[in-house]
Amino acid sequence: MNADALDAICAIIQEDAGNRGLRTDPAENLITACAGDFQRACQSLAQTPQASVAIVTGVFIPHGQPPCGETDGPLGAILLARALTHLGIRVVLASDAFCLPALEAGLVASKLVEAVPVVALPSVEKARDLSSSEYWQTFREQSGPISHLIALERVGPSHTADSIQAQNGNAADARARYLAEAPAEHHDCCHTMRGRNITMYTSPAHRLFEEAGRQTPRIATVGIGDGGNEIGMGKIPWDVIRRNIPNGGRVACRVATDHLIVCGVSNWGAYGLAAGVRLLRGAAPDSELFDLERERSILRMMVEGGPLVDGISGRPELSVDGFPFERYVEPLVRLAFVRKSECGEKPRNGCQ
């Protein structure tokens, strides 16, 4: 029954409510390309003795009023921290300076300030003087030992001609098509979904995910994203993202993770991962995690304390990715009904 319940959770979080283009091509799309990864990510976390997790989040919104981080990512990181900490899993949060006040406000609201450290990633300027191994070591000195590294709505660098050539699953002419369609000044850059270059605002956290695979013991990596531009999406061929996502050929991230959770809203992916790990650990249902008013209160404190803005509207409001709060939390309501002994309500599309 656990497998059925995980499938039900996966189907809930993979609803493309914002019409991002996750399933534009019915045969080859972002959902089919990572089939089974959600379940494997849940199992990896749940089955690791003494698991310790670092969650990297935060996307800068230049058009924000004011320019700052967005609500998608940090809010999900706080719920995931709440869920995992209650299971005895150590959690560390990490982001750029622009996002730290919001994360700290969320931890205060969740009464997790003492339990969950917050790591400041090296600034863009400082990172220029660090090798990838030095960047990792700087992070590691603050985070302590970890078994899992999660990128939650964290943009990563786009492709280069070489990465297109090296990536499996692309058409033979993909490199030439990429060079023709993606301007050189947008190669190897971090982008918003609108295609705006935000590399100058974004600490190169992708280095952590590249270094994680070189560690002994190896650190498992998980990417959670909804638009193709996030760390982890390099697991999906550039051709697939290009065909399904508007601006996908330009914004597609080249950095892969071991497991990739593609979802309608990145926070939903965090909610699903929290529910899945709790399910596999045999934890009793926790109504507090699915308390909508509690989630609204935490979001309000993070928006005011950050500030944070909705990534679509650019305004500091209680919404995520353009969804009013009541619509945004509908998956959280549905996740509350998924139990070990039943699948709960399955969306029409099912789980790929």
CATH number of 2-335: 3.90.1640.20
Say if strands 259-262 and 220-225 run parallel, antiparallel, or are unpaired: parallel
Residues 157 and 170: their CA atoms lie apart, in Å, by 18
Q: Which of 51, 93, 101, 98 is nearest to 76 (CA)?
A: 93
Residues 227 and 204: their CA atoms lie apart, in Å, by 19
DSSP state of 199: G
End-to-end Cα separation, the chain, in angstroms: 17
Model confidence, pTM: 0.95
How many C-beta atoms lie closer than 10 Å to residue 45's C-beta?
Answer: 26
- Return averaged pLDDT per consecutive 10 residues of the chain, 352 residues in all: 91 94 96 97 98 98 97 98 98 98 98 98 98 98 98 98 95 95 96 95 98 96 98 98 96 98 98 97 90 97 98 97 97 83 41 48
Q: Which of 144, 174, 142 is nearest to 159 (CA)?
A: 174
Whether 264 contacts 13, CB under 8 Å: yes
pLDDT of residue 339: 59
Sign of CA dihedral 71, 295, 264, 255: positive
One-letter amino acid of 87: L
pLDDT of residue 338: 85
Say if strands 220-225 and 148-152 run parallel, antiparallel, or are unpaired: parallel
Phi, psi of 151 (to 5 degrees): -100, 115
Q: What is the pLDDT of residues 284-316, one digit of tens each?
A: 888 899 999 999 999 999 999 999 999 999 999
Residues 205 and 136: their CA atoms lie apart, in Å, by 9
pLDDT of residue 342: 45
User: In a 10 Å sphere around its CB, with 0-12 CB exposed, 13-18 middle and 19+ buried, how is residue 10 labelled?
Assistant: buried
Residues 339 and 215: their CA atoms lie apart, in Å, by 36
pLDDT of residue 343: 40
Phi, psi of 118 (to 5 degrees): -120, 125
pLDDT of residue 110: 97
Say if strands 118-120 and 90-95 run parallel, antiparallel, or are unpaired: parallel
Contacts of 49 (CB under 8 A, 6+ apart): none
DSSP state of 265: S
Alpha-helical segments (H) within the chain: 2-13, 37-46, 74-85, 100-110, 124-127, 132-143, 161-166, 174-181, 206-212, 238-244, 248-251, 266-280, 292-305, 325-328, 330-335
Q: What is the pLDDT of residues 92-110, one digit of tens each?
A: 999 999 999 999 999 999 9
Residues 231 and 351: their CA atoms lie apart, in Å, by 22
Domain positions in the chain are: 2-335
How much of the chain is helix, strand and coil, in % rounded to 5? 40, 15, 45
Q: List strands edge to edge, sheet with 220-225.
A: 118-120, 90-95, 52-57, 148-152, 220-225, 259-262
